[in-house]
Structure formats: structure tokens, C-alpha cells
Amino acid sequence: MIDFNRPAIVGNELKYIQDAVAQGMLCGDGKYTKLCSEWMKKRFDVNQVFLTTSCTHALEMAAFLCDIQPGDEVIMPSYTFVSTADAFVLRGAKIVFVDIRPDTMNIDENLIEQAITDKTRAIVPVHYAGVGCEMNKIMELAKKYNLKVVEDAGPNPCPPIVVGVGIGGTFDKAALLAKKALMRNTNVRNADPFYAQLEEEMLEKINALGIGPQGVGGKTTALAVNIEKMPTHIAGLPIAVNINCHVTRHKSVEL
């Protein structure tokens, strides 16, 4: 038996799929896209919601909406994924890379102003690995120079998340254990009651944060905390944490 992933099933899926097929519109932007957009508009109190199938598409759409023209300059961090730059390069923009901060790996907000010229049209901060950029400072600069701001949150897991924790061994082993922990099914607890209880306690604390699915609030921020451990020297206790979104893709094989 090989599992590629295990999606969460709530019960109405088949009914809605049948309805979507009956509507004759399966390529997106149909009845359910509209229902979802309407819900998000109300929930976030915004005028427009445009759903896309990926962060890359969202960035490309943002570049259109910013009306980027050939020769315009767009500021972004020197450390990011190719899609951040590609979306604006497609519109003919010149990308101006600004160094990142070593502590957050995010764009250094104090280096942005010196990169602004009369051709600058937009700043694209990337919120790296769950750490937010200094948005107050960035929005201040955008206001001062009349620039658009496109926030790229592409490298973050979308809740509900699965948290893998590796404890013990050497640090490289702990990192591997954290990955291994993510591969365990969400309904299987650590065989050691001590760690099983720790998993439950951590899950409870994460869910008490109220972040909820897709960050829109609720009790299910994480589906599981899985811990894997190894013996280690008493003088050091390496711990690694790996966070993945709910579609944590994995395979299991029974031989």
C-alpha cells in the first residue's frame, strides 16, 4: 500500500464534486471559486478576492495589477524563490535585489531606501519561513515614495500544519528525525508514553493559538505534533523542528 497523501475529509466533498461536474465548469473560476471568494471577502472585509492555484500565479497577477511596464524597477530580497523575480521579469521589470538580514533572512528594511530610484514601482518583501518582515517600516517607505507593496508568503506552510520534532542524537541526526517524524501518520502517537503525552501537550498549545485553517481563525492550527527521539550525550540536547502543511506528502510501503 502506497499513500501519496491523506487529505482531510469532512463529508460533503462528493456532493460538491458532483454539483461542480453538473455545472459543466471544471477549469476553475466556477461556482465554488465564487462561493469561496465571497466568503473570504466577507471574512476579511475586502473589496476583491482573486483565488489562484499557486503563489507563482498570485505573484504574476499582482505584477499585472501593479501595471508594471518594461524598464520599471522592483525591489525584492536577494534571497528568495525564482517566482518572486520571474513574475515581474515577465512584465519587463528590472529587479533590484536588496540584501537580507542575517537574523531573519528577510529583506533588510534599512537598506531599501537607498535602492529606490525614480523608476521604482514596487517593493516585494518575502516573509521567509514564518518570520514576518518589518512591515511598518516598509509601508512607511511605500507611502513616502508612492510605491506598491506585494507581500510574498510563498515559503510558509498553510495551516493546518503538521509539526515534526527530532530530539537527540547529533544535530544532523535530530534534523533527520524531525523529517522522519513528519512522515508518521497524524493519528499515530509516539510509542513511548512520555513522548506521546508531550506530543498531545504541544498540539494543544499550538491549537490554542487560534490561528486556524488558512490562518482565518479556529481551533485547528495543527493536525499533529510528531516527535522522534534518539539517545544523546548528556552535555548537549539537539532539537530540530520541521513544519509542513496538511498535505504532507509521503509514501508508506508494506513489504
Please report, as ranges, the residues that interact with ligand PLP according to CB under 6 A. Answer: 54-56, 80-81, 83-84, 126, 152, 154-155
Closest distance between ligand PLP and the C-beta of residue 157, in Å? 11
SS3 234: coil
Q: Is residue 24 packed enough to be buried (19+ CB in 10 Å), middle (13-18) or exposed (0-12)?
A: exposed
Q: Containing H/E element for 229?
A: strand 222-229
Closest CB to ligand PLP among 72 and 152? 152
Q: Containing H/E element for 167?
A: strand 161-167
d(CA 90, CA 61): 11
Closest CB to ligand PLP among 159 and 238? 159
The closest residue (CB) to ligand PLP is: 154
> Hey, what's the cell of 189?
502517537
Closest distance between ligand PLP and the C-beta of residue 158, in Å? 10
Closest distance between ligand PLP and the C-beta of residue 81, in Å? 3
Q: Produce one character per residue of 208-239: b if its CB has 16 or more CB atoms within 10 Å, e if not.
A: eeebebeeeeeeebbbbbbbbbeebeeeeebb
SS3 180: helix
Closest distance between ligand PLP and the C-beta of residue 155, in Å? 4
Closest CB to ligand PLP among 59 and 147? 59
CA 87 to chain centre: 18
Closest CB to ligand PLP among 78 and 117? 78
Alpha-helical segments (H) within 106-192:
135-145, 171-183
Closest distance between ligand PLP and the C-beta of residue 228, in Å? 25
Closest CB to ligand PLP among 124 and 223? 124
Closest distance between ligand PLP and the C-beta of residue 10, in Å? 23
Closest CB to ligand PLP among 33 and 83? 83
